Structure 1
Amino acid sequence: MCGIFGTLNYEHAIAKEQIFEGLLHRGPDEQGCFNSHPVNLYHTRLAIQDLTASGQQPMKHNGLVLVFNGEIYNHMELRRKYDLMATSNSDTLTILMLFERIGMKMLEEFDGMFAFALYDTLNLKLYLARDRAGKKPLYIYNKGMAYVFSSELNVLYRLCRPEVNYAALADYLYLGHYYRKATPYHLVNELENGNYMVIDTLSGQAEQFCWFKIEDAYRNGHQLDYEESLLQLDQHLNTAVKRRIESADLDVGSFLSGGIDSGLVTAMAAQQQSRLKTFTVKVAGSFDESLLAEKVAKKYDTDHTVVEIDFADLANDIEKIISNHGEPNSDNSAIPSYYVAREAKKYITVVLNGDGADELFGGYRRYVPFKHMDFFNPGALTKISSGFLAKILPIANQKQSFYTYGYRLLKFASYGDLVKMYCSASSDLFVGFEDVFIEKPQMLAISADLERYNGYSISPLKKILLMDFESMLFSRLLPKMDIATMAHSIEGRSPFLAKEILDFAPGLPDHYKIRNIQTKHILRDLGRKYLPAALIDQPKRGFEIPLQKWVDHELRQVMEQYLLAGDALYPKIIKKSFIEQLMARQISISDERRAKILFCVFSMEVWHKSL
């Protein structure tokens, strides 16, 4: 795991010390650079594979130069397949050798997480690429013939100073994160997952290619019966876990909650590595998953640690936690993720997690109604009756209650507009409060994607799973985990985002994922083979974050300093009176939603003040 930075045809001087300082947390072990006009490449290394000097970057090979962030877990298999011989076991070298053999078709062969820049000095072309899911970030500044790219927005902003795109902030507030390639800056885009770019270094002309589309997998279902699907899932996940352990020259640990996803990963990993180090989080005032996790730890004799987090320093740390992202992000689970990664680093450098399982196998409660009803195309009677009931019923305040579940269901069933429906079903921030916007949200990109997905001949459940993979997972959850882990120089590996599983899971029939009202049905059945019975039917909880309490107590003072400041940014986008009334509890809204909106706006203010 590393940090990469580079420029092409960029005439402004950039000191390498500034780059290395900004990306040091992503790669504290080694730093290197390649400078040959008009291309400059920089790399900071967190040594995981091939710990010798032969793994250093930028790596040169037969006229090719590469800076690479990530891991190719099956690279030794690919060496055997393509008869690639070398003394070094570096996956970076495998990329270079395979590029010589088959060019960018190599991307389709990789099981891994990656963002890289490959400079072909013979053909004068620069290649920028990202993995299937987008686990490893890459941001690109482009003005005319000049390009600057970076693993992190903070570094790119400090060195290039792009202009803030204030018009796009309304979209952020409405959705809760930046969608797909969008960023808070003009001339800066995120290279999307499953894409690569080829830039002619002489002309500056660029062409972008999409080499992986998960929507294709959703449109092409397979006909496996349930028992065969269960067997293949078992094989694919075991292979993914095995690769992610074997492709590390350091010990690999595992985050272990009381849930199915991390439990399966841990069980399979423990069969590959004796005395696997496992970590469970215990948060005061929340459901204690450590008792369930301990059952798995005992079953597989892991070296188990319970990490207790009390958030005692939250008020002092919150600005740093938010600023690390380099852009506004309303996902308050970034807070516990930051603390968990900090504690895990005391014991381990590489850790497995269950990221992606919920979005691929139907893990959220809100997926259940999409299995039984088409909320993408509700009839007039459904919209009218749902809207009427949502207006007359009392506001739901209990976060995990069945009433709250039903109340939210009525709300997003009442929307005929796809963007409103999706935002209500996912982030649930400003939907229904559109009149408070001074700068109206445009939501053009997400609207176009929703319309396209809705035109596909696939089920409503597949549509919402596809949308969440491309929006919530790519734009919010994976960046959150990348920033949290890399802030502490720790690498997170996600077996559920393996090549074979991304090809396999979308094509499963809906009833393999949602059975009546049970989520993740096929994963739960697989869990019966590996896990204690007490875990199988546990509901998904995630981090039960006491956001309402934080907003009213621990974070109240710092939030008031930002939200009531005379030079606050948000009054240019939404009415200040709305936020003031929210803070004074003068708006009819649930406590949880009130807290989420205030935190969303607060996150934007912290980001803006940090520029």
Structure 2
Amino acid sequence: MCGIFGTINYEIPVDQQKIFQGLWHRGPDEQDRQSIDNLHLYHTRLAIQDLSPMGKQPMEYNGLMIAFNGEIYNHLELREKYGLESASNSDTRTILMMYELMGMKMLEEFDGMFAFALYDLKNRMLYLARDRAGKKPLFIYRKGNTWMFSSELNILSQIAQPEIDYAALSDYLYLGYHYRKSTPYLHVSELENGHYLKLDPQNMKEQEVTWFNMEEGYRQESKLNHEDSIAQLDHLLQFAVHRRMDSSDLDVGSFLSGGIDSGLVTAIAAKHASRLNTFTVRLPGSYDESGLAAKVAKRYGTNHTVVDIDFSSLQDDIETILSGHGEPNCDNSAIPSYYVAKAAKQHTTVVLNGDGADELFGGYRRYVPFRHLDFFQPNNLTKISAKILAGILPIANEKQSYYTYLYRLLKFASYTDVVKIYCSASSDLFVGFEDQFLRRPLMKDISADLLAINKLPLSALNKILLMDFQSMLFSRLLPKMDIATMAHSLEGRSPFLSKELLEFAPGLPDHFKIHNVTTKSILRDLAVNYLPEELINQPKRGFEIPLRKWVDEELKTVINDYLLAKDTLYSRIIKKSFIEDLIAKKIRVSDERRAKMLFCVFGLEVWYKKLIQKGNAL
């Protein structure tokens, strides 16, 4: 796992130590740079495979040069398949040999997570590419003939000094995260998952290619029956876990919650390791899953660590945690993710997780209604009735209650706009308060994408699963885990996002994913072979963060200092009086939603004060 940075036609002298320092946490083992023509490549290395100097980057081979971030888990299989030989066992070298053999068609062969810049010196062509799910980040700055690209926005913004994009920030507040290409800067975009850019650095002509499209998987209906589907799922998950353990020259650990996703990964991994390190988080004031996790750890004899997070240093750490994302962030689960990654790094450098299982197999409770009703095509009676009921019922305040579930169901059933339906189902921050924005959310990209998905000949369940994969997983959840782990030079690997499972899961019948009201039905059926019965039937919980308490107690002072300051950024986007009324509890919303809204604006202000104003002052 590494960090990459590059410039094209950038005439101003660059402080390479500043770049290395900015990416050091992604690659503390080695730092180097190479220049050719008008291209400059920088690389910081976290050595996981081929710990010898032969794995050094940027790597040159037969007229090719690459700066690579990630892992290709099946690269040795590919060498055997295509008869490729090298003294180095580095997956970076395998990429260059595969490119020499078949060009960018090689991407379809890779099972891995990656972002890379590959320069073909013979043809004077640069390729920037990302993996299927988008686990490894890559941001690109384009202005005139000048380009920069980086694994992180923080160092990119420090070097390029781009201007703020207020329209993008308005969309961020409304949605709760930056959607796909969007960043908070003008002239800066994120390369999307399953895409690569082909660029001629001489004339700056570019071509963007979609080499993987998740939509195609949902068009392929599996013909396997239930029993054979479970057997195939078992085989593919074992295959994915084993690959992610074998392709490491260091010991591999596993995050272990009380849920079935990480439980399955851990159970399979433990059979493949002499003594697997596992890690469970225990949070004060939330449901304690450590007991369930301990049963899995005991069954498989893992070296188990319970990470008790008391958040005693939260006031001191919160600005560091949020500003590490390089853009406004309001996912409060980034906080425990940061702490558990910090604890895990004390024991291991590589850790497995269950990321992607919920979006592939239907793990969220909000998916259940879409299994039975098409809320994207509601009739008028449904919309009118839901709107009336939602308007007269008391506001739901209990996060996990059935009443809250019903209340939110009525809210998104009352909307006619596909974007509002989706946003209300997944992130209902400012939906319904559009009139409070001074700069109205445009949501052009997400509107176009959601409307296109809604027109596909898919079930409502598969539509929202595809929407979540393309938006929430890519733009919010994977970046959260990448930032949390790489902040501590820890590599996170996700077996559920393997090449084979991404091809297999979408085509499963809806009732294999949601059976009546049971989420992740097929995973639960598989878990019978691996996990304690009481764990299998547990509902999806995730990190149950006491956000309401934080906003009104532990973080109240720091949040109010930011939001009630005179020079706020948010007041250029949304009415300050509205936020003041929100703080004073004068707005009719649930306590949980109020806390999320305030935390979202707080994330914007931390980004602005810590990164923008501070950067301008340097």
Q: TM-score if structure 2 supplies the norm length? A: 0.98
Q: Does residue 479 of structure 1 match 2:484?
A: no
Contact 1:145 1:205 in 2 (8 A): no
Q: Deviations over 1:341-371 (max 9, x none)?
A: 0111111100000000000000000000000
Cα shift at 1:11: 1.5
How far, CA to CA, are the matches of 1:221 and 1:455 in structure 2?
A: 18
For 1:76, the equivalent position in structure 2 comes to 76
3-state SS of paired residue (1:529)? coil
How many residues align? The count is 611
1:50-199 → structure 2 map (5 Å cutoff): 50-199=50-199
1:417-496 → structure 2 map (5 Å cutoff): 417-496=417-496
How far, CA to CA, are the matches of 1:573 and 1:359 in structure 2?
A: 32
Give, as a single letter, the amino acid of the residue that structure 2 aligns with 1:229. Answer: S
Contact 1:132 1:212 in 2 (8 A): yes
Give, as a single letter, the amino acid of the residue that structure 1 aligns with 2:165. Answer: N
How far, CA to CA, are the matches of 2:589 and 2:184 in structure 1?
A: 29
Cα shift at 1:216: 0.8
For 2:512, the equivalent position in structure 1 comes to 512
How far, CA to CA, are the matches of 2:223 and 2:378 in structure 1?
A: 29
Contact 1:163 1:185 in 2 (8 A): yes
3-state SS of paired residue (2:98)? helix
Cα shift at 1:219: 1.8
Cα shift at 1:310: 0.4
How far, CA to CA, are the matches of 2:215 and 2:565 in structure 1?
A: 44
3-state SS of paired residue (2:202)? coil
For 1:372, the equivalent position in structure 2 comes to 372
How far, CA to CA, are the matches of 2:106 and 2:64 in structure 1?
A: 15
Give, as a single letter, the amino acid of the residue that structure 2 aligns with 1:529. Answer: N
For 2:497, the equivalent position in structure 1 comes to 497
How far, CA to CA, are the matches of 2:468 and 2:139 in structure 1?
A: 21
For 2:278, the equivalent position in structure 1 comes to 278
For 1:414, the equivalent position in structure 2 comes to 414
Contact 1:365 1:519 in 2 (8 A): yes
How far, CA to CA, are the matches of 1:274 and 1:293 in structure 2?
A: 19
How far, CA to CA, are the matches of 1:332 and 1:279 in structure 2?
A: 20
Contact 1:323 1:607 in 2 (8 A): yes
Give, as a single letter, the amino acid of the residue that structure 1 aligns with 2:135. Answer: K
For 2:9, the equivalent position in structure 1 comes to 9
How far, CA to CA, are the matches of 2:329 and 2:176 in structure 1?
A: 6
How far, CA to CA, are the matches of 1:75 and 1:558 in structure 2?
A: 48
3-state SS of paired residue (1:363)? coil
1:235-384 → structure 2 map (5 Å cutoff): 235-384=235-384
For 2:615, the equivalent position in structure 1 comes to none
Q: Deviations over 1:470-501 (max 9, x none)?
A: 00000000001000000000000000000000
For 2:608, the equivalent position in structure 1 comes to 608
216-225 or 480-489: bigger deviation: 216-225
How far, CA to CA, are the matches of 2:30 and 2:474 in structure 1?
A: 29
For 1:18, the equivalent position in structure 2 comes to 18
Q: Does residue 27 of structure 1 match 2:27?
A: yes
3-state SS of paired residue (1:516)? coil
How far, CA to CA, are the matches of 1:122 and 1:12 in structure 2?
A: 27
How far, CA to CA, are the matches of 1:362 and 1:94 in structure 2?
A: 35
Cα shift at 1:547: 0.2
For 2:216, the equivalent position in structure 1 comes to 216
How far, CA to CA, are the matches of 1:162 and 1:576 in structure 2?
A: 26
Cα shift at 1:564: 0.1
Cα shift at 1:167: 2.1
Q: Deviations over 1:148-206 (max 9, x none)?
A: 00000000000010111112211110000110101111111100000000110210111
Give, as a single letter, the amino acid of the residue that structure 2 aligns with 1:477. Answer: L
Give the 4+ runs in structure 1 shifted more than 6 A.
none
3-state SS of paired residue (2:149)? strand
How far, CA to CA, are the matches of 1:382 and 1:115 in structure 2?
A: 45
How far, CA to CA, are the matches of 1:268 and 1:312 in structure 2?
A: 35
Q: Deviations over 1:399-444 (max 9, x none)?
A: 0000000000000000000111111101110111111111100111
Cα shift at 1:8: 1.2
3-state SS of paired residue (1:505)? helix
How far, CA to CA, are the matches of 2:586 and 2:595 in structure 1?
A: 13
Q: Deviations over 1:282-330 (max 9, x none)?
A: 1111111110001100110111111111000101111111100011122
How far, CA to CA, are the matches of 2:328 and 2:436 in structure 1?
A: 20
Contact 1:2 1:27 in 2 (8 A): yes
Cα shift at 1:221: 1.7
Q: Deviations over 1:548-603 (max 9, x none)?
A: 00000110000011000000011111111111111111111100000000000000
3-state SS of paired residue (2:279)? strand
3-state SS of paired residue (2:365)? coil
Give, as a single letter, the amino acid of the residue that structure 1 aligns with 2:416. Answer: G
3-state SS of paired residue (2:480)? helix
Any unmatched runs of 5+ in structure 2?
613-618
3-state SS of paired residue (2:557)? helix
Give, as a single letter, the amino acid of the residue that structure 2 aligns with 1:359. Answer: E
Q: Deviations over 1:250-291 (max 9, x none)?
A: 000000000000000000000111110001111111111110
Give, as a single letter, the amino acid of the residue that structure 1 aligns with 2:454. Answer: N
Contact 1:137 1:479 in 2 (8 A): yes
How far, CA to CA, are the matches of 1:126 and 1:595 in structure 2?
A: 45
How far, CA to CA, are the matches of 2:75 and 2:474 in structure 1?
A: 24
For 1:586, the equivalent position in structure 2 comes to 586
Give, as a single letter, the amino acid of the residue that structure 2 aligns with 1:247. Answer: S
How far, CA to CA, are the matches of 1:438 and 1:86 in structure 2?
A: 59
Cα shift at 1:37: 2.8
How far, CA to CA, are the matches of 1:80 and 1:283 in structure 2?
A: 46
Give, as a single letter, the amino acid of the residue that structure 2 aligns with 1:222. Answer: S
Q: Deviations over 1:65-100 (max 9, x none)?
A: 011000000000000001001111100000000100
Cα shift at 1:398: 0.5
Contact 1:69 1:114 in 2 (8 A): yes
Give, as a single letter, the amino acid of the residue that structure 2 aligns with 1:510. Answer: D
How far, CA to CA, are the matches of 2:309 and 2:93 in structure 1?
A: 40
How far, CA to CA, are the matches of 2:12 and 2:500 in structure 1?
A: 43
1:526-541 → structure 2 map (5 Å cutoff): 526-541=526-541
3-state SS of paired residue (2:40)? strand
Contact 1:361 1:505 in 2 (8 A): yes
How far, CA to CA, are the matches of 1:182 and 1:207 in structure 2?
A: 19
Q: Deviations over 1:211-258 (max 9, x none)?
A: 000011112222211111111100110000000000000000000000
How far, CA to CA, are the matches of 2:500 and 2:481 in structure 1?
A: 22
How far, CA to CA, are the matches of 1:35 and 1:483 in structure 2?
A: 28
How far, CA to CA, are the matches of 2:438 and 2:220 in structure 1?
A: 43
Contact 1:144 1:204 in 2 (8 A): no
3-state SS of paired residue (1:446)? helix
3-state SS of paired residue (2:529)? helix
How far, CA to CA, are the matches of 1:68 and 1:440 in structure 2?
A: 39
